[in-house]
A = this chain, B = another copy of it.
């Protein structure tokens, strides 16, 4: 079919032009995306952000050329010139699909497994909003989430975790098509897998269907229709031939290397495709015009009129607009106001309280923990989101940290403010998806407790050391390690107000005295003068649980007639990204006698201090005070270390 072949040849021409890219999937999977877009997807290319559009996630992100060709033909703002600039600096057509870079791209994908897992988060958000806000005759949130997955994609643990949760939650509007071509980069899938896909998918409580030939549009149509009708999430395994009809068809050689213009020319003959390089026939454009663009525009218009009437009929539900527009509560300063300087509290407890208060005013806030909510105190409001309770905002992720992070991102892609909870050391499991949140600039809230070796008995595997450094080193991510309940509340406030990057909150298991009460502007710098003395000779700089330790050391030093200031630095990464002048107000240039103290890898603190008390070893199992004594994190040892400067 010419409309499908147009996808194929635009895709091949792009790969040839760039002399870089993945032609295999372009040839094999073109019919699948055509059928989906021409008959099912509701999108409005002139309004790619239309809230109730169907979502399409290309989890096999290396098939980007196919997606760009599809978006071009479907009327999105992507010209032939854009296609010619495939994989060039500054183009709208980067090597893998990038959210923000290209209209119509619903998520950044490329690292396998991620798109599928993110899609589960999108489907959760849709289901929640549909059940929370729709009214009789006003189905204002009601769309499908489609995924194009692949052999390799499904080998990833994160994909399996996410599918397990999607099946459990019965996300019936999630439909996954698998480009099942039995080939992956290193050769036939048989070299590395014998998994029975049907059994696997059914074990996750998905509806499974099999389509024997990707080119059989009728079979595809029947399967997609059945999937839409199913009350379970659906999975359609579609057998295709990688590099279909090319000389290397069915082999891994066609996965990621350009065919070359000569072979592409030969293929034009095989497919009897008349148009030249980057040329598209009018009847092809016409087909997409009628079947994708106009059908989508009509759906959008129908929805818009429905939504207008909905807003009038249900003014109370107008808060859905706030979610659509990603508005945060305007009274955060009041809701998260500071507490008196008294008592002590674990900052995991502080966040639990703060999240409850926040949830009451922020209906978009939703999330939970990876089977640790009892320990992390991170829970969404209104009971568990489940197949029987679609309006609960607490997600029981199960022991699926990786999928949790991806799902939180997916929810944020759908303007639900997704948050996660876990032990900080298990952030390792989540890193691939957290990185995607930073790349996409999603406002995901990643909350962690059990922030250091001070967690005690659980031992080295549960005690983070290098984790602060790894997230502080990640671009476009902000990390907070608050000193007490008040800095915790400020961290949460700033995190919630930050809409263009993810935030990482790192909290304690153990109690911390309430010792800070900074102004919001000072806090936002990342570090501020917490305790000032007259004529200081030096500075102690600390974060989190070490701030009160620094204050104790300050007192001990004072007894010896030595006067030092204490700077609390809840966000080292925010601080070092400030202009020099701002930094120097907190850490005056001339004040070179500095000691930074943190129960973690020391390396990054040399950015602000010539001496650092940190940890370059793993922790140990024992009561927390014994551990701290063993590792020398006591006020006396801080004094000793300072005196050596």
Which stretch (A133-141, A279-287, A457-465) binds chain B?
Answer: A457-465
Determine the residue in chain B with the shortest Cβ distance to A204.
B195
Please tell me if A439 contacts chain B, counting CB pairs below 8 Å.
yes
Please tell me if A436 contacts chain B, counting CB pairs below 8 Å.
yes
Determine the residue in chain B with the shortest Cβ distance to A150.
B399
Complex Cα distance, B451 from A247, in Å, reads 33
Enumerate A453-495 residues with CB–CB distance to B below 8 Å. Answer: 456-462, 465-466, 469-470, 472-476
Which stretch (A152-160, A312-320, A547-555, A557-565) binds chain B?
Answer: A152-160
Q: Is the CB of A475 within 8 A of B195?
A: no
Please tell me if A328 contacts chain B, counting CB pairs below 8 Å.
no
Q: Is the CB of B187 within 8 A of A195?
A: no
Please tell me if A331 contacts chain B, counting CB pairs below 8 Å.
no
Q: Is the CB of A89 within 8 A of B621?
A: yes
Q: Is the CB of B618 within 8 A of A438?
A: yes
The contact string, 1 if C-beta is below 8 Å from chain B, for chain A 245-266, is 0000000100000000000000
Determine the residue in chain B with the shortest Cβ distance to A603.
B604
Q: Is the CB of B622 within 8 A of A88?
A: yes
The contact string, 1 if C-beta is below 8 Å from chain B, for chain A 417-437, is 000000001101101100110
Q: Is the CB of B199 within 8 A of A95?
A: no
Complex Cα distance, B467 from A470, in Å, reads 7
Please tell me if A98 contacts chain B, counting CB pairs below 8 Å.
yes
Q: Is the CB of B193 within 8 A of A199?
A: no
Please tell me if A375 contacts chain B, counting CB pairs below 8 Å.
yes
> Which one, B194, B396, B458, contacts A95 given CB within 8 A?
B458
Complex Cα distance, B458 from A375, in Å, reads 40
Q: Is the CB of A186 within 8 A of B374?
A: yes
Determine the residue in chain B with the shortest Cβ distance to A61.
B461
Quick one: which of A403, A425, A475, A626 has the most chain B CB within 10 A?
Answer: A475
Please tell me if A196 contacts chain B, counting CB pairs below 8 Å.
yes
- Contact flag A110-B466 (CB < 8 Å), given A157-B160, A185-B375, A403-B157: no
Q: Is the CB of A459 within 8 A of B96?
A: yes
Please tell me if A414 contacts chain B, counting CB pairs below 8 Å.
no
Quick one: which of A20, A98, A193, A616 has the most chain B CB within 10 A?
Answer: A193
Across-interface contacts of A148 in B (CB, < 8 A): none
Please tell me if A635 contacts chain B, counting CB pairs below 8 Å.
no
Q: Is the CB of B199 within 8 A of A195?
A: no
Q: Is the CB of A185 within 8 A of B155?
A: no
Quick one: which of A156, A369, A371 has the most chain B CB within 10 A?
Answer: A371
- Contact flag A439-B426 (CB < 8 Å), given A91-B621, A603-B472, A621-B91: no
Q: Is the CB of A372 within 8 A of B110?
A: no
Determine the residue in chain B with the shortest Cβ distance to A429.
B432
Across-interface contacts of A449 in B (CB, < 8 A): none
Across-interface contacts of A168 in B (CB, < 8 A): 192-195
Across-interface contacts of A186 in B (CB, < 8 A): 369, 371-374, 396
Across-interface contacts of A165 in B (CB, < 8 A): 192-193
Q: Is the CB of A89 within 8 A of B626?
A: yes
Closest beta carbon of chain B to A262's beta carbon, Å: 21
Across-interface contacts of A607 in B (CB, < 8 A): 603, 606
Complex Cα distance, B314 from A196, in Å, reads 42
Closest beta carbon of chain B to A365's beta carbon, Å: 19
Across-interface contacts of A98 in B (CB, < 8 A): 459-461, 621
Apart from A111-B428, A153-B399, A439-B618, what 15 extra A-B contacts exist at CB < 8 Å?
A: A88-B623, A89-B621, A108-B460, A111-B461, A155-B164, A157-B400, A185-B372, A186-B373, A200-B204, A426-B432, A439-B460, A466-B470, A470-B470, A472-B603, A576-B603
Sample 15 A-B pairs with CB under 8 A, ordered by A number.
A61-B461, A88-B626, A94-B460, A95-B457, A95-B458, A95-B621, A98-B459, A98-B460, A98-B621, A111-B429, A112-B399, A165-B192, A186-B371, A469-B603, A475-B615
The 5 closest A-B pairs by CB, nearest first: A157-B157, A89-B622, A192-B398, A94-B621, A470-B470
